[in-house]
Amino acid sequence: MAVVGEPVEATLDNTTSKTDTSASAALQPKKVFMRTYGCQMNVYDSDRMTDVLGPEGFTTTENMEDADLVILNTCHIREKAAEKVYSELGRIRKVKEERARQGKEMMIGVAGCVAQAEGEEISRRAPIVDLVIGPQSYHQLPKLLKTARDGTKVVETEFDIDAKFKHLSERAARPPLKRAPSAFLTVQEGCDKFCTFCVVPYTRGAEVSRSVEQIVTEAEQMAVAGVREITLLGQNVNGWHGAGPDGNSWGLGRLLYRLSEIDGLDRLRYTTSHPRDMDDELIQAHRDLKTLMPYLHLPVQSGSDSILASMNRKHTRDEYFRLIDRIREAAPDIALSCDFIVGFPGETDQDFQDTMNLIRRVEFGSAFSFKYSQRPGTPGALMDNQVDEDIKSARLAELQELVAQQQTAFNASRINMTFGVLFERKGRMPGQIVGKSPWLQPVQVDASEDLIGTIQPVEILEIGRNSLFGQLKPGHHDVVGQ
């Protein structure tokens, strides 16, 4: 699960069906301000919350001051996550008071993993909050909002994932008019792995997979709505499994073969995977499917066997190396990405050097790295050999330096290459558009906005810190990523 430390403003692609004719659509127009923290699953969930609010008369706003409803879609994975939400609520309280002076209402909801973990504690500590809603209950948002508006504080943190998935599928049956070229599709939620540092099994619950039929239908509808690239999402996405129409049990690999048959879907990706669940069929899919992009986020967390065992990662460092070899044999050009934690309890200098040496051996295209933080309720938080903050900081800096070198080398290896870029939006400079390479690198090109939503061959001329810069190469066919 790629998590960013800073809030990600939700990409509100307003996919709500504009053809909705329900009576509630005629309600007074209202504005919702949605702030999304954390992983891509939260971005997907924020979009779905915006979807269910559309028929209730809500449109989105980027200005909190204009909002009749503010929703914080929170992440619990980092240290002091709950405290940060409480201080944000303190700031929002002032905006709410200012609106009240102008005679305007502002309702406040807290969603996501902090909502799930803290529950009623949120209403107790922050009385301005009208609604606390866990990740499995978003489809109930309109009903819960009504209850909250009638003056009852609402705390809804049931784990009813089947109901959420059913709702997502019903929504998919109403095709939206137009969607962004690249979109997420949740196929699986929850995690049964119980890594000893991680809150996810507690905040998102046990692993539940959506059915093949639900996923294929939603993907087909997305293709009709203009989506060219789908990233399948799950906390443990390669743990996805379901009964196929052929009567066999399907894994993620088989599902990818099926999705690659959908007309108009040119690119498939998935995240986040666990090394233990990379089976043969999934690796073969990387060899066989042109639509499956040559990029894999496969967190290892540590390169030390004793730390891996203490993290309960359920594999050794050698098993990870063997897996990487098999993946590279199937897809030699694949870009590997990873998550690392430094300073897990008991991590010695030697353990850390084992991680550094794993990175040198594998060579990653990019990676996320974090200092270990004690998460309440996880076994790691109770371990008594916690590592000093200073040591963690020094190790993180050393690791990030190495990863930055590898990322630069990988980016530089694309110079003079021509490959397909899926253009997604306008760039910061006038006349510039931005897309993604098959290896998930942002690519900037001077070209017409009309190309947004299309895949074009691009030759890479130079690299910046995070992006590649290139020029269109019309007429180049059969290049990777097209």
Work out what residue 194 binds among ligand 5AD, ligand SF4, none; the CB cut-off runs from 5 to 8 Å by kind.
ligand SF4
> For residues 372 and 423, which CB has a smaller minimum distance to ligand 5AD in the complex?
372
Q: Least CB distance from residue 191 to ligand SF4, whole Å?
A: 3
Binding site for ligand 5AD (CB under 6 A): 1, 3, 77, 197-198, 299, 301, 339, 341, 370, 372-373, 375
Phi/psi for 178 (5° steps) reads -150, 140
The three-state (H, E, C) secondary structure of 202-263, written as one string: HHCCCCEECCHHHHHHHHHHHHHCCCCEEEEECCCHHHCEEECCCCCEEEHHHHHHHHCCCC
- Among residues 356, 277, 301, 365, which one has the least CA distance to residue 328? 365
Q: Which stretch binds ligand SF4 (CB under 6 A): 39-47, 187-195, 403-411, 424-432?
A: 187-195
The edge-to-edge listing of strands for the beta sheet with 267-271 is 182-186, 229-233, 267-271
Q: Least CB distance from residue 341 to ligand SF4, whole Å?
A: 9
Work out what residue 370 binds among ligand SF4, ligand 5AD, none; the CB cut-off runs from 5 to 8 Å by kind.
ligand 5AD
Residue with tokens 């690659």: 260
Work out what residue 77 binds among ligand 5AD, ligand SF4, none; the CB cut-off runs from 5 to 8 Å by kind.
ligand 5AD
List residues forming the annotated binding site for [4Fe-4S] cluster: 39, 75, 113, 191, 195, 198
Q: Least CB distance from residue 236 to ligand SF4, whole Å?
A: 5
Q: Does 274 bind ligand SF4 (CB under 6 A)?
A: yes
Q: For residue 98, give every residue at least 6 positions away whose Cβ sits within 8 Å of its Cβ, in sequence order, or none.
A: 65
Q: Least CB distance from residue 385 to ligand SF4, whole Å?
A: 20
Q: For residue 463, give every residue at least 6 positions away whose Cβ sits within 8 Å of its Cβ, in sequence order, or none.
A: 408, 411, 412, 414, 415, 469
Residue in the shown chain whose Cβ atom is closest to ligand 5AD: 339
When binding is defined by CB under 6 A, the residue of 109, 134, 201, 427 that contacts ligand SF4 is: 201
> For residues 201 and 453, which CB has a smaller minimum distance to ligand SF4 in the complex?
201
> For residues 33 and 197, which CB has a smaller minimum distance to ligand 5AD in the complex?
197
Q: Does 245 bind ligand SF4 (CB under 6 A)?
A: no
Q: Does 100 bind ligand SF4 (CB under 6 A)?
A: no
Q: Does 191 bind ligand SF4 (CB under 6 A)?
A: yes
Do 230 and 269 form a contact (C-beta atoms < 8 A)?
Answer: yes
- Compute the distance between CA of residue 138 and CA of residue 433 in angstroms, rounded to an integer: 34
Q: Does 335 bind ligand SF4 (CB under 6 A)?
A: no
198: left (phi over 0), alpha (psi -120 to 50) or beta: beta
Residue-wise over 425-434: b if at least 16 C-beta within 10 A, else e? eebeeeeebb
Take residue 3 and report the two structure tokens written for it. Answer: 């998590």
Half-sphere exposure of 355 (CA within 13 A, CB side): 28
Q: Does 308 bind ligand SF4 (CB under 6 A)?
A: no
Q: Does 194 bind ligand SF4 (CB under 6 A)?
A: yes
- Compute the distance between CA of residue 213 and CA of residue 26 in angstroms, rounded to an integer: 33
List residues forming the annotated binding site: 39, 75, 113, 191, 195, 198
Alpha carbon distance, N-terminus to C-terminus of the chain = 26
Give residues in contact with ligand SF4 (CB under 6 A): 191, 193-195, 198, 200-201, 235-236, 274
